[in-house]
Amino acid sequence: MRHRKSGRKLNRNSSHRQAMFRNMAGSLIRYELIKTTLPKAKELRRVVEPMINLAKVDSVAHRRLIFSRIRNNELVAKLFNELSPRLSQRAGGYTRILKCGFRTGDKAPMAYIEFIDRLKYQVKNQ
């Protein structure tokens, strides 16, 4: 029985799952919007939102913790310098999942995952 076991396995072993979410989290931080399957998007939300909570308080320890999770100094800098100031007023719920139909090959449900203030931020700059 799988009582009290949280998270999705997604037909992958633990190292593959960890590497996949590390890459997806990096892509989401870099592009602020990615398209993926709905279960992966729901699980990615559980990976990214705690990182943003850590990034709200800029310290060396928090930078090292986030670096250990995404392994890219450029993305760590973007998270601390750009994303966390924009999201600092929110207490949580930093990402939005938008369903976008089904994949053509296998009819897997697809979704966009993005940061909440992405559109407002881009319109203000233009």
In-domain check, residue 53? yes
CATH number for the domain spanning 95: value is 3.90.1030.10
Q: What is the pLDDT of residues 82-119, one digit of tens each?
A: 999 999 999 999 999 999 999 999 999 999 999 998 87
In-domain check, residue 1? no
CA distances in angstroms from 66 to 50, 62, 119, listed in the order given: 10, 6, 25
| pLDDT attached to residue 24 | 99
Burial (CB count within 10 angstroms: exposed 0-12, middle 13-18, buried 19+), residue 112: middle
In-domain check, residue 111? yes
Query: From CA 104, how far away is CA 75, in angstroms rounded?
Result: 32
In-domain check, residue 5? no
Question: Which distant-in-sequence residues (6+ apart) come within 8 Å of 52 by Cβ?
Answer: 79, 83, 84, 87, 94
| pLDDT attached to residue 13 | 97
CB 10 within 8 A of CB 17: yes
In-domain check, residue 36? yes
The range of the structural domain enclosing residue 72 comes to 14-125
